[in-house]
């Protein structure tokens, strides 16, 4: 019950901050996402009630924009660039290797919750193609055989 009070307080503060501003629903959802890493269902329900917006409308916005997530992300976020340069330099093989090592699909989190795999259109590092980014750290000119070593450094952090 204590958690519900925290959610209610959090949502009330956000609604107060953004009320009467155009695009307030998206801005509130951004703040929730930035704080939690995703939009918890309980918060979406509270937001629906406080803004007097149907829950279906909130989910319509959440599912329309790729930025918003409905489940908690993994502890470590892996982004693999599939922009033209990265694609041509071997990104598809890198993605395949990551999937094999972690047993995870694109846009999903590993069962242990440690890794989340995203495929993105561009990381802005075309000269370093192919590029993998983990938790904001960029790995350039990555080769398929290097993936296991890169990932293992993050696994060792967990131990």
Residuewise pLDDT in 10s, the chain (159 residues): 445 556 678 888 888 888 888 888 999 999 999 888 899 999 999 999 999 999 999 999 999 987 788 888 889 999 999 999 999 999 999 999 999 999 999 988 999 999 999 999 999 999 999 999 999 999 999 999 999 999 999 987 766
Q: Which of the 8 DSSP states describes residue 129?
A: -
How many of the other CB atoms lie within 10 Å of CB of 102?
A: 23
Residue 130's pLDDT is 98
Residue 2's pLDDT is 46
Reading the block at residue 100, the tokens are 């094999």
End-to-end CA distance of the chain: 33
């Amino acid at each position: 019950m204590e958690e519900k009070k925290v959610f209610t307080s959090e949502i009330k503060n956000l609604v107060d901050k953004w009320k009467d501003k155009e695009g307030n629903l998206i801005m509130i959802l951004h703040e929730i996402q930035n704080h939690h890493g995703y939009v918890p269902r309980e918060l979406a329900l509270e937001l629906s009630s406080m803004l007097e917006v149907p829950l279906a409308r909130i989910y319509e916005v959440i599912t329309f924009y790729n930025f918003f997530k409905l489940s908690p992300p993994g502890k470590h976020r892996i982004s693999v660039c599939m922009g033209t340069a990265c694609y041509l330099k071997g990104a598809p093989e890198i993605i395949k290797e990551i999937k094999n090592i972690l047993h995870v699909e694109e846009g999903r989190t590993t069962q242990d919750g440690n890794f989340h795999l995203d495929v993105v259109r561009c990381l802005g590092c075309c000269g370093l193609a192919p590029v993998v980014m983990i938790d904001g750290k960029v790995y350039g000119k990555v080769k398929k055989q290097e993936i296991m070593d890169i990932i293992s450094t993050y696994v060792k952090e967990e131990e």
